[in-house]
Structure 1
Amino acid sequence: MKRTVWIYMAIVVLIFAVFLLSLQMGTMSIAPLDVWRTLMGDGTEQHTLVLFEFRLPRMVIALLVGAGLAVSGAILQSLSRNELADPGILGINAGAGLAVVLFIYFFQGSYTSLGETIFALPLFAFVGAITAAFLIYTLAWKKGVTPIRLVLVGIGLNAGFTAILIVFQLRMNPEDFMQATVWLNGDIWGTSWSHTLAVLPWMLLFIPLVIAQARTLNVMRLGDPSAVSLGVKVERNRRRLLILAVMLAGASVSVGGAISFLGLVAPHIARRLVGPRHQVMVPTAAMVGAFILLFADMVGRNLLSPSEIPVGIVVAVIGAPYFLYLLMKTP
């Protein structure tokens, strides 16, 4: 426990350090002393606008989305007993992405008026994620749902959603095509406090619910026969936990775009740091995911400034080599 507390403190310090550094960096650099004055309410109008209206809400959303995707990945890896499971790989992100592309495609004529509403695009992404999860669970059902069938069906649907998505993208006009492409590459497009408030309740509600289900996750990771022998109602708990994973992924994707690999990498790092017990692994994964996405967002905003690299591409550069390492390591 003492080691776990030290690890928690180290991750929090890293997050805080990157947070302060990210506040200073951007198209317009702000000196550390000016950042402090602005946060204390004594900054210039320009600095106040940049920090409070652009950088701070985006950074808070990065923390929330990173935590949500990491916890969603931790659930999926435990339910499937597969270290390669991830909301992006299983097709949940692709389902949300397809819903967003359909929204842009069918409403492209009135996209400006619809896109200005806070919940239009997130709502479609959320519905797409839930639909994808429902199809995965339904098609994987055969006198129950086995972890292997869940993963295989998810990978198959992911490929199908991606193919349909490409077809609709190719039929778009150039402006809408670019909008969809950037979003699908993982772009924190929701950068206002309204978007932050839209996603915050989901994280505050569902992440504690997952932590409360930590004992069930510990047992289900042992396998269905062992879980049944210990009195766990496997199918009911699997459905409940799958819904929690989808809700977290859908809420995250709705404002952060289709970010892959984060839900894969963060739980692995957390298990290496604190072990497999979900009581400590899930909070650690949430903090690791928040740190990775905050760091990736800082890199994406500043590496080729004033141009931005979608944060999903930065995360993929970090996560893809680790994914290949896991593939080679898996027997």
Structure 2
Amino acid sequence: MSTVEVKQITLQDVSFEEDIFIDVRSPAEFTEYQIPNAINVPLFSNEERAKVGTAYKQKSKEHAIELGLSMYAPKILAFFKKLKGLQEEMPTKRMVIYCWRGGMRSKTIAGTVGLLGVECYQLVGGIRSFRQYVQKGLEQEALKKRNFIVVAGHTGSRKTEILQVLKRKGYPVIDLEALAGHRGSIFGHIGMKPKSQKQFESLLLEQLQQLENSSYLIIEAESKRIGHIILPDFIIKGKENGVRVELDYPFWSRVEHIYNTYQPEKYKENIYEAIMKMRKYLSSQLLDELDVLQQKEDFKSIFSKLLEEYYDPRYDYAFSKYQTSSIHIEFEDLNSGVGKMIAFIEKYRTKITG
């Protein structure tokens, strides 16, 4: 394969919108992090990659290469048909093949299918070059001066839903929880697909670039961490210095919203596991009450107890430490909440644009 000429292309010369990106890393690597809109056509399965890696460490590079080639050889026809089919579906697009660092996996695939007539390029530097691009891009975003509108409120105040509606209406919303695949609390992973830090940063940069002409951004009042994701310092600074809008939604409406969001009949065991992780923060009396409610599967009462005795007091304490004043918006339903938010945003936008 080393004698096959493989055409290469750098990240500076690709188009994320126009090119077809073929990620030949294992499914696990792809799930953790990938170039936007890439298609995973793995050279090795997760198990096969582990075997090749073990052979490399315990025996030699040559042995690992031989093992890898023996695994790949039976798949050549399937790879050719897959990539040929993609090329025929999108004949005007360039095909760019990448692996971790532009090494043997992508070169092997590009060389094989190229020899068989599939026009393709190997990405120089692999996904590591894309990672460097993301890091540099976020550093540049951190230098930009932007105003922030920060949407806050007690747990269950429908902040995320309001942000989603605003985004659909064209307002410059960065939905940090959606990018993280996590809602931010101990329960936040339930029903979600948490993203890796690398994937989160890639998605964040993409959205920031899409909103580069906006003089302000709308975000939710998040802590430094959303699940395992750590927010960039410039987002935290924007939250701390931004205009804060406090949503006031009725208590029992919040309970109902939490119930509908977390679907306890479907995710009962996940909810119980989350409560177990909270036990050290809860009083013995509250734990006894929660145990009784769990036996009854009275989830609305469970949620109301957690709001009253855990989440609301913690939020109120944090809110008391906030340095800037807040604009309060009271609402009874989603439509009125969105309407009042839009009215505030339009007034705010007029103020900052003169």
TM-score range for the pair, normalised by the shorter chain length: under 0.3
Q: Which has the higher helix share?
A: 1
Q: Which has the higher strand share?
A: 2
Q: Which has the larger radius of gyration?
A: 2
TM-score normalised to the size of structure 2? Answer: 0.22
Relative contact order, higher structure (CA 8 A, sep 6+): 1
